[in-house]
């Protein structure tokens, strides 16, 4: 079921929660709404659900105009951040709730309900927990119950509000993969809210980046990362290092640092780069003379994260290197090295621009 959101906006009193928003979601697509808190993403989700009313605009599910349809009749599944399970009901009764709430003539027989619920519990791998109460389950298990409950009525659309926000990192990772898998299997159209960029990039077919009630960019995770349409998106999607200096004849100078930036016009510029776009070397390259000293070393799994300091830097740079590189350069705190930059981005021109400098090894 495709979803068409057209010109939806919302105010709370004088404060504007959503600028008019247009968004087309294809059948079976998994869309992430990403943004900092207060960006309007949850408001948009709740409007699609019918839990809140837009001030204007329309929402279509397929051919059906649901703008004025009550949430009860929209045929959506909704998963809440804090699960919102019925605490006085067993897991089984939670999942069966929607089926039991159907009007008598549409309601399946109790045998049918039982088998449907057990099938859902099997899908979320909680068959053994059917008679437990929510308080007896872990957060991850509760969220799986909540998902099974939302899917019980075979909704056209599944909406998830920060579904993994309250879980610890490992469970979150696991549930994310599992949701991706489930989505591939069942093919429901889905819209989820998150403030975690990694989550958005990993789960979504397309990501809607929002800030201050506005859509900043709608794109696939890959495009979003490679070709952010503005500075906000670039900064929100990952760690950012800044380099500010004067450019003259294709060379940026900043204290005793030099970097050749062919094609950038003369004047003062602020350039941005990601941690993985920095390489370290024990001598300057011919295009870059960027002396730094290592001020912190944090080994994290497959890579080592470094903090680099220099007189010419306002705030330290973040960089990451592999273990082989780490050993070869004998990196430790206080070690003096030279940074080599493979790519650099600028957003102060009319169009965002990415400059390829020296290829990373």
Coil, strand or helix: which one is 180? helix
Tell which one of 6, 69, 118, 153 touches another protein (CB under 8 A): 153
Considering CB under 8 A, how many residues would be counted as binding another protein?
27
Residues 81-110 vs another protein: string with x where CB under 8 A?
A: -x-xxxxx--------xx--xx--------
User: Do you know the residue count of the chain?
Assistant: 361
CA 297 to chain centre: 27
Alpha-carbon gap, residue 302 to 94, rounded angstroms: 42
**Cβ closest to another protein, residue 94 vs residue 318:** 94
Give SS3 for 338: strand
Q: Which of residues 253-272 bind another protein (CB under 8 A)?
A: none
Query: Which of 12, 246 has the CB closer to another protein?
Result: 12
Tell whether residue 131 is a contact of another protein (CB under 8 A). no
The C-alpha angle 92, 183, 174, rounded to 5 degrees, equals: 75
Instruction: Please check whether residue 140 is in contact with residue 177, taking contact to mean a CB–CB distance below 8 angstroms.
Output: no
d(CA 210, CA 41): 7
Does position 133 interact with another protein (CB under 8 A)? The reply is yes
Nearer to another protein (CB atom), residue 76 or residue 337: 76
Task: Identify which of residues 145 and 272 has a Cβ nearer to another protein in the complex.
Answer: 145
For another protein, the closer of residues 164 and 317 by Cβ is: 164
Enumerate residues 29-68 that contact another protein by CB under 8 A.
Answer: 49, 51
Rounded least distance, CB 219 to another protein, Å: 29
- When asked if residue 160 is in the footprint of another protein (CB under 8 A), the reply is no
Residue 178 near another protein by CB under 8 A = no
Contact 232, 243 (CB under 8 A): no
Show the tokens assigned to 37: 């808190």
Q: Which token pair is 291?
A: 């002396």
The CA distance from 243 to 252, in Å, is 9
Contact status: 72 vs another protein (CB under 8 A)? yes
**Choice from 32, 35, 40, 77 touching another protein (CB under 8 A):** 77
Tell me the C-alpha distance between 90 and 128, whole Å. 12
Q: DSSP assignment of 253-288, as one string?
A: EETTEEEE-TTPPSEEEEEEE-GGGEEEESS--SSE
Instruction: Choose one: 20-28, 77-85, 278-286, 342-350; the region binding another protein (CB under 8 A).
Output: 77-85
Q: How far is the CB of 174 from another protein (least distance, A)?
A: 23
Nearer to another protein among residue 131 and residue 220 (C-beta): 131
What is the H or E stretch that residue 290 is in? Answer: none
Asked if 1 is part of the footprint of another protein (rule: CB under 8 A), the reply reads: no
Region of residue 31 (phi > 0: left; psi between -120 and 50: alpha; otherwise: beta): beta
- Does position 69 interact with another protein (CB under 8 A)? The reply is no
Site residues for another protein per CB under 8 A: 49, 51, 71-73, 76-78, 80, 82, 84-88, 97-98, 101-102, 133, 135-136, 146, 149-150, 152-153
């Amino acid at each position: 079921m495709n979803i068409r959101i057209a010109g939806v906006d919302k105010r709370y009193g004088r404060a504007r929660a959503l600028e008019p928003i247009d968004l087309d979601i294809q059948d079976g697509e998994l869309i992430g709404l990403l943004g900092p808190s207060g960006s309007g993403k949850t408001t948009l989700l709740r409007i699609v659900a019918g839990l809140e009313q837009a001030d204007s605009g329309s929402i279509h599910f397929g051919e059906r105009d649901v703008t004025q349809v009550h949430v009860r009749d929209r045929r959506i599944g909704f998963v809440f951040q804090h699960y919102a399970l019925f605490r006085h009901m067993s897991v089984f009764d939670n999942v069966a709730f929607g089926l039991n709430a159907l009007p008598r003539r549409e309601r399946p027989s109790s045998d049918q309900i039982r088998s449907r619920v057990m099938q859902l519990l099997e899908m979320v791998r909680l068959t053994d927990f059917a008679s437990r109460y929510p308080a007896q389950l872990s957060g991850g298990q509760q969220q799986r119950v909540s998902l099974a409950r939302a899917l019980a009525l075979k909704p056209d659309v599944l909406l998830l509000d920060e579904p993994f926000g309250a879980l610890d990192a490992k469970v979150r990772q696991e549930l994310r993969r599992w949701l991706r898998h489930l989505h591939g299997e069942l093919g429901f159209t889905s819209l989820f809210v998150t403030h975690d960029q990694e989550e958005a990039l990993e789960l979504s077919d397309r990501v809607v980046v929002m800030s201050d009630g506005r859509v900043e960019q709608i794109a696939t995770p890959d495009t979003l990362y490679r070709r952010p349409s503005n500075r906000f998106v670039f900064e929100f999607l990952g760690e950012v290092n800044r380099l500010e200096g004067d450019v003259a004849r294709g060379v940026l100078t900043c204290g005793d640092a030099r970097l050749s930036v062919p094609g950038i016009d003369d004047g003062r510029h602020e350039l941005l780069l990601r941690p993985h776009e920095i390489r370290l070397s024990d001598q300057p390259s011919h295009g870059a003379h960027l002396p730094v000293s290592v001020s912190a070393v944090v080994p994290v799994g497959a890579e080592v994260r470094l903090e680099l300091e220099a007189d010419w830097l306002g705030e330290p740079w973040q960089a990451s290197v592999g273990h082989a590189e780490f050993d070869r350069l004998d990196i430790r705190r206080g070690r003096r090295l030279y940074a080599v930059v493979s790519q650099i981005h600028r957003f102060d021109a009319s169009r965002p621009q990415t400059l390829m400098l020296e290829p990373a090894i």
